[in-house]
Structure 1
Amino acid sequence: MKRRKVSNLLGLAVLSTLLERPMHPYEVATVLRSREKEADMDIKIGSLYTVVNNLARHGFIEAAESGREGALPERTVYRITGAGRDELVDWVRELISAPEPEPRRFKAGLSVFAVLGPDQAVDLLQERLTALERGTEALRAALAEHSAFVPRLFLVEDEYEIAMREAEQAWVRALLQELTSGSFPGLADWRGWETG
């Protein structure tokens, strides 16, 4: 994986948004929010301005115009540069082609799963499964609604999210089945650790 001058994923979102047309950073934030990108990343105005400044410092975007309306502060409209287009394409190519381990809170919890008793683990996994199912249904409904007016090309990340949630649900269901049926290897020992 290449070390990037700006590696914050918000930078990727800014570059892709400015590819459409020059915009003021606040307008970029508005466009990202309207596309529900907050589900993928935090969009905080302070962070956004930091990312914009970093992108400009490295030549990926540049000021297209600056102006002031009345007593409002000066507003700078930015556009993507040729170097910014190259960086955007290279970054997306890397993200799509190269699997990268992502730190996951659930995986971290599973790595120390043994501190829970089996019965508590079952209750918590059931809670997680219910939340996953509700969230997946909400995502499916939103995808169905958006697919009526948004080309599929711009919805594939939602399809991926649904597929990942479905895979996690299947895995959690299988683990729950092993724990509740007693077929989970070492279950008696685990119960012994809990009481010991």
Structure 2
Amino acid sequence: MHPYEMYQLLVARAEDRLVKIRPGSLYHAVVRLADRGLLAEVGRDREGNRPERTTYSLTEAGRTALVDWVETRLSVPTNEYPEFPVAVAQMHNLPEGEVVQVLDRRLVALRAELDFHGELIAAHTAIELHEPYWLDTRYQHAMLAAQIHWIEQLLDDLRSGRLVWQDPQHQVDHAETGRHDISDIAHEGASA
């Protein structure tokens, strides 16, 4: 398979929603993998006036590296440092009304994304695509649903008054009132 064909396949499978993919970067990544012996050049061809295309296949070393990578990512939890939890940790810096407004906007976007993944699941099911090929879609659907549920609960707590919000201008600096004790606990838990 040549790099542009790989790119087209990734887009057709909607895997460009998992990783940012650009044809040029993919081409350079393929060359680096070939240089490391993880891919092997199996042929070159040219159609008309188009540039020559190099076709690659996975080597045995490449297959081993792939299996090792997948097994590690599936078995070892890692913090991927997504931006949303950082924003949640800092949203106390916004007035309550603004928090509600921006989270409402996020919900609209998340629900659209959830609908898209629901449509993908329905399409995969309709064509009887072997389920292991689209488990990532089910996972993303579940994660989106969980985030939507969490935000809906938070908004309900804010709107009902169960969660009391302080105006950012009247907040106490918690750096001296024990917040650092929480980080000590978090670091102890991470090293256990």
| Aligned partner (choices 78, 81, 92) of residue 103 of structure 1 | 81
**How big is the shift at 1:144?**
0.6
State the match for 2:126 in structure 1: 148
State the match for 2:144 in structure 1: 165
**Aligned pair in 2 of structure 1 residues 72, 191: CA closer, same or farther (>3 Å)?**
closer
Q: Which has the higher contact order (CA 8 A, sep 6+)?
A: 1
State the match for 2:169 in structure 1: 193
What count of residue pairs does the alignment treat as equivalent?
171
Deviations 1:44-88 (A, max 9, x none): 111011100110111000111123444433321111111001001
State the match for 2:175 in structure 1: none
Matches within 5 A, 1:11-160: 23-149=1-127, 150-160=129-139
Q: Is the 8 A contact 2:38 2:63 kept in 1?
A: yes
For 1:156 and 1:37, the matched residues in 2 are separated by 12
Q: Is the 8 A contact 1:116 1:194 kept in 2?
A: no
Q: Once structures 1 and 2 are overlaid, which stretch shifts more, 165-174 or 60-69?
A: 60-69
**How big is the shift at 1:192?**
6.5
Q: Is the 8 A contact 2:3 2:27 kept in 1?
A: yes
Q: Which runs of 5+ in 1 are unaligned?
A: 1-22
SS in 1 for 2:126: coil
**Aligned pair in 2 of structure 1 residues 191, 27: CA closer, same or farther (>3 Å)?**
same
**How big is the shift at 1:42?**
2.0
For normalisation by structure 2, the TM-score amounts to 0.82
SS in 2 for 1:134: helix
SS in 2 for 1:112: helix
For 1:125 and 1:151, the matched residues in 2 are separated by 36
Q: Which runs of 5+ in 2 are unaligned?
A: 172-192
Q: Is the 8 A contact 1:63 1:78 kept in 2?
A: yes
Q: Is the 8 A contact 1:132 1:165 kept in 2?
A: yes
Deviations 1:100-127 (A, max 9, x none): 1112121121122122101111111122
**Aligned pair in 2 of structure 1 residues 69, 120: CA closer, same or farther (>3 Å)?**
closer
Supply the RMSD in Å over aligned alpha carbons: 1.9
For normalisation by structure 1, the TM-score amounts to 0.80
Q: 2:32 is matched by which residue type in structure 1?
A: N
